Amino acid sequence: MPTTLITGASSGLGAEMARQLAATGEDLALCARRTDRLEELRAEILAAHPDRRVAVRALDVNDHEQVFEVVRAFRADLGTLDRVIVNAGLGKGAPLGTGGFAANKETATTNFVSALAQCEAAMEVFRDQRAGHLVVISSMSAMRGLPKTLTTYAASKAGIAHLAEGLRTELHGTELGRTVHVTVLYPGYIASEMNEKVAQRTPLMSTTEKGVQAMVAAIEKRVGSACVPPLPWAPLSLVMKHAPLPVLKRLI
């Protein structure tokens, strides 16, 4: 059975991906800071799928040495890691120059530098195994620079998407590229702890279950990139990328 590691798996999209991937027959390596929630999720999954293997470990992705330690330990525990989903993220932010540097720095560190550490640790394993699937969870906000509280968040999500795309370019046409795959997902509004306030303001919010179904479908197809759910986000991505600035500002 394939084995998938998910960071930030204690709630939201990470926890729901764990549930849905377990239902497809995958073993799981789940990590997050809140180990009590991980243990609850593990018990829930094993109750529904007793034949699954579900390993859990504490991980603060901003402890970069710990990132490498945990990924290596999971591989030792489970024998192999077939997929790593870089999911852990943060949504804090403030308009630039308004005294919110600490929040912006925390978001930039978590969403880019710590995601880099996760990609490095995953690729260390995949290069050694000569096989694997790296999945990076970006955001529709990565399509364009966004204002106010979203400025740093959008930039960090664009950064990690470009990091993964650069890796895919490196692997393309190589022997390793035939067995190591890279996927970037751009979720739109999917209900989660991170965007509870947004849910009150937009009709475009997908339920966690349906949104993650679209994410899991794209992951299992090992697509290069995908906006999820495809509707309305794939066509909206073109609007976000190409709309003149006055039009974009009215839309957001």
Upper half-sphere CA count for residue 46 (Cβ side, 13 Å): 11
Contact partners, residue 11, CB within 8 Å, separation at least 6: 32, 34, 37, 192, 193
* Catalytic residue list contains 186: no
pLDDT of residue 194: 58
CB 115 within 8 A of CB 163: yes
Please, what's the b/e burial string for 159-187 (b: 16 or more CB within 10 A of its CB; e: otherwise)?
Answer: bbbebbbebbeebeeeeeeeebbbbbbbb
For position 31, which CATH number holds?
A: 3.40.50.720
Structural domain for 230, as ranges: 3-251
Of the candidates 19, 85, 74, the residue with the CA atom closest to the CA atom of residue 52: 19
pLDDT of residue 200: 47
Contact partners, residue 98, CB within 8 Å, separation at least 6: none
pLDDT of residue 201: 52
Question: Where is 218: in which H helix or E strand?
Answer: helix 208-221
Per-residue pLDDT of the chain (252 residues; tens, 9 = 90+): 899 999 999 999 999 999 999 999 999 999 999 999 999 999 999 999 999 999 999 999 999 999 999 999 999 999 999 999 999 999 999 999 999 999 999 999 999 999 999 999 999 999 999 999 999 999 999 999 999 999 999 999 999 999 999 999 999 999 999 999 999 999 999 987 655 554 445 667 889 999 999 999 999 999 999 999 999 999 999 999 998 898 888 877
pLDDT of residue 195: 53
Q: What pTM was computed for the model?
A: 0.94
Structure token pair of residue 80? 């192999």
User: What would the pLDDT profile of 138-188 be if each residue is shown by its tens digit?
Assistant: 999 999 999 999 999 999 999 999 999 999 999 999 999 999 999 999 999
Cα gap 91→75, rounded to integer Å: 29
CB 27 within 8 A of CB 78: yes
Helix (H, G, I), strand (E, B) or coil at 123: helix
Please, what's the b/e burial string for 137-158 (b: 16 or more CB within 10 A of its CB; e: otherwise)?
Answer: bbbbbbbbebeebbbbbbbbbb
Which among 126, 153, 186, 233 is annotated as catalytic? 153
Count of domains observed in the chain: 1
pLDDT of residue 191: 82
Taking each helix axis from N to C terminus, what angle separates 114-129 and 64-78, rounded to the nearest 10 degrees?
A: 30
